[in-house]
Structure 1
C-alpha cells in the first residue's frame, strides 16, 4: 500500500517509522509490536537485499527516493504526459539520483541539457567547470540545450565580465566542443545507465542506492535451496549467529544451561549445536555417508559459516543438497528446543527418523528431484 503514495509524495520520517514498526512486529512476533529480544537482527540489515545478507524487505526511505525518480524520467522521455513542462517539486536527493543514473546519446541536441546532462564524456559540464557554471544564471543552467549553446547562446549567457578562472574554463570548454557535430536527422536519446535495456526501473534505482556493500557469501547456500521459507530464515539467522543459544543468553545475563542440551559436554553455541555436538556429528556422518559425501562431515570444532563455504557438490545435485542440508540444520534445532522446553530425551535415531520422513514428503512435494 505505501508504494502508491511514495510515487508522488515524500513520506515523512514519522510515517516511515510507523510503517516499519508494524512490519517489524509482524516479522518477529506476529503482533502489532515487537521489542527487545524479539528483534533478532537490526532492521537496516533485515531490509538489505538477500544477496547482501538481508531478507529483501524494502527499506522505505531509499524506495521512496527511487520511486520519485520516475517523475524526472517521464518528464524527459514521455512527451504525452499533460504535466510535462510544469515545475516538478522533487527533493535534491531525487535530482541527484536522476543525474547520476542517466546519460545522453546525442542526436540533434534539442532535448539534451548542456550544463546538467552527461553527454560530453563521463562527467557533467556543471561538475567539471564550476567557475564558469557559477557565472550563468541558474535558470539557464537548468534549461539550455546543447543545440542552443552550440548555436551561440553560451556567449550571451556568460557575458563579458568573467573572472580569471571562469575565463580559463570557458576557453577550455569551447575548445572541447568545437569539434562536436550534431546529427540533425536523429533525436537525442536519454539512457538509464543502471538497467541493461537503458530504461528506468524502480528496482535498479533502489539497488544502486544500496550499492557499495559486500555480498553475503552464504546467501546462495541459504536462498537457492528449495526448503520451506521458515527453514531458510532459520538458516539465515544461524549464519548470523542470532539464535538464542546458551552463549548468547550468557552474554546478556539471562538464564541458560551450562552445557549443550544434547551432548552435555561443552557450552552451547550455534556452531557447536548444529555441527560440533556429538549427536549432531552422528547425524551428519550417517546422512553424508548414505549420500556418498562423507568428506563433508563437520569436525568437532567446525564453524558454521566456514563449514558451509567448504561444501561442494556436482552442479546438477547442488540445489538438492542445499535443500537437504537446510532440513538437517532445522531438525537439529527443533530437536534441541524439544529437549530444552518439553523435557524430551536427546536421540540421534529420532532426528534421523524425522529427517528421512520429511525428505520423503519434500520429494513428493517436488522440493527434491
Structure 2
C-alpha cells in the first residue's frame, strides 16, 4: 500500500519518520518501539543495499523519489497517454533525478525540450551554457521544443547571445520521433529499481555481500584486545584473526583438508580475508561453490567463537578443539537444511 501511495504523492517527512519508527522497533526488538540503546546500527546504514554494507531495507525517502520518477519518464516516452497533458507536479529532487538519468537521441525534435533536456551529445544547453540559460524564463524553458527552436532559429527569441555553432551540427529527421534513454539500465528503459539504486551512488561498495547473504548460515556469524589471543606476540585485527595468524592458517588447513581442499589454505602472503576468499571461490563452481562459501563462513565463525572463548572464559588456544567445534557446526548446519554444505561433506568423504 505504501508503494502505491509513494508513487502518487510525495510522502511528508512526518509520515516517513512515523513508519521508520515502527520498522526500527520491529527490526531491533520485535515490538512497536525501540529506544536508542536497542538500535545496533544507524538507520541510514540499515537502509543501504547489501552490497553497500546495509541490510537491504528500503530507504523510504529515496524509494519515493525513484517511484515518482516514473511519471515524467512516461510523459516523455509515451506522450499519447491520456493524462500526459495534465499539469504534473514534480519535486525538485525528482526533477534532478530525471535530469541526471535521461539522455535523448533527437528525431523530429517534437518531444524534447530545447533548453533542459540532454540532447546535445548527452548534455543540455542548461549545462553547456548556464549563463545563457539564466536569461531564459522558466516558462519558455519548460515549453520550447527542439523542433520549434530550430525552425527559423526561434531559440534566438528566447535569449541574447550566441550558441549557434553547436546547433548547426543537429539535423532534424522528419517522421522519426525523439528517443529518450534511461542511462542507468541496460535496456535504456526506466525502472524503479534502477532509479532507486542510483540514489546511492558514491556509497562504499561491500565486496563480500553476495557471498555472505547468498550462502547458508545462521543469522549471527561475524571489540578485540590489543594482542592476538591465539598468538600473543602479534597485534590483533580482524584481517589477522581470520587469515593472517599462524594459528588461523593451521586451522584452515585442518578444516579444508577434511573436505579434500587443503590446497586452498591461506598462505603467508594472504593478508586480506576478502581477497583470499576470492581465490577458493574461483576454484569451484555451481553447488560446490555455494557449499564452499558456507564452509568459509562457518570456519570464520568457529575462529571467532574460539577466540571469544579464550578472551572471556580464559580457555587456552587449542587447534584440535577449534577444528572439532567447526566440524560440529558442519553437522548442525547440514541437519538444519544446508544442502550445499552436505554436498561438500560428501565430496570430502569421497576423497
TM-score, normalised relative to structure 1: 0.75
What residue number does 2:172 align with? 182
Structure 2 regions of 5+ residues with no counterpart?
344-351
Closer, same or farther in 2 for the Cα pair 1:16/1:75, shift >3 Å? same
Closer, same or farther in 2 for the Cα pair 1:275/1:178, shift >3 Å? closer
What residue number does 2:102 align with? 102
Closer, same or farther in 2 for the Cα pair 1:277/1:191, shift >3 Å? closer
Closer, same or farther in 2 for the Cα pair 1:75/1:278, shift >3 Å? same
What residue number does 1:126 align with? 126
Which deviates further from its counterpart, 348-357 or 3-12?
348-357
Closer, same or farther in 2 for the Cα pair 1:368/1:46, shift >3 Å? farther
Q: Distance in 1 between matches of 2:169 and 2:241?
A: 70
What residue number does 1:327 align with? 298
TM-aligned CA deviation for residue 102 of structure 1: 0.8
TM-aligned CA deviation for residue 117 of structure 1: 0.9
**CA contact 1:227–1:327 (8 Å) conserved in 2:** no
Q: 1:315 aligns with which of 262, 266, 284?
A: 284
Which deviates further from its counterpart, 350-359 or 15-24?
350-359
What residue number does 1:287 align with? 255
Q: Distance in 1 between matches of 2:241 and 2:165?
A: 70
Closer, same or farther in 2 for the Cα pair 1:182/1:229, shift >3 Å? farther
What's the Cα RMSD here? 3.7
Question: Is 1:58 aligned to residue 58 of structure 2?
Answer: yes
TM-aligned CA deviation for residue 193 of structure 1: 1.2
Query: Superposition pairs for residues 19-168 of structure 1, below 5 Å?
Result: 19-152=19-152, 154=154, 157-158=157-158, 166-167=160-161
**CA contact 1:288–1:296 (8 Å) conserved in 2:** yes
Question: Is 1:354 aligned to residue 323 of structure 2?
Answer: no
TM-aligned CA deviation for residue 16 of structure 1: 1.5
Closer, same or farther in 2 for the Cα pair 1:20/1:264, shift >3 Å? farther
Structure 1 regions of 5+ residues with no counterpart?
239-244, 251-258
Which deviates further from its counterpart, 262-271 or 346-355?
262-271
Task: Tell me the number of residue pairs that the alignment of Structure 1 and Structure 2 aligns.
Answer: 334
TM-aligned CA deviation for residue 274 of structure 1: 6.5
Query: Residue by residue, what CA displacement relative to the aligned partner does 1:50-96 show, whole Å, maximum 9, x if unpaired?
Result: 12222221111111111111111112222353321122112111111
3-state DSSP of counterpart to 2:219: helix
Query: Residue by residue, what CA displacement relative to the aligned partner does 1:181-229 show, whole Å, maximum 9, x if unpaired?
Result: 11112111111111111111111111111112232233243234x2146
**CA contact 2:63–2:196 (8 Å) conserved in 1:** yes
Question: Is 1:197 aligned to residue 171 of structure 2?
Answer: no
Q: Distance in 2 between matches of 1:341 and 1:109?
A: 72
**CA contact 2:302–2:322 (8 Å) conserved in 1:** no
Closer, same or farther in 2 for the Cα pair 1:274/1:176, shift >3 Å? closer
**CA contact 1:107–1:182 (8 Å) conserved in 2:** yes
Which deviates further from its counterpart, 203-212 or 148-157?
148-157
What residue number does 1:13 align with? 13
Q: Distance in 2 between matches of 1:333 and 1:62?
A: 36
Q: Distance in 2 between matches of 1:175 and 1:263?
A: 71
Closer, same or farther in 2 for the Cα pair 1:79/1:140, shift >3 Å? same
Q: Distance in 2 between matches of 1:101 and 1:176?
A: 22
TM-aligned CA deviation for residue 108 of structure 1: 1.1
Q: Distance in 1 between matches of 2:38 and 2:253?
A: 34
Q: Distance in 2 between matches of 1:279 and 1:180?
A: 68
TM-aligned CA deviation for residue 141 of structure 1: 0.9
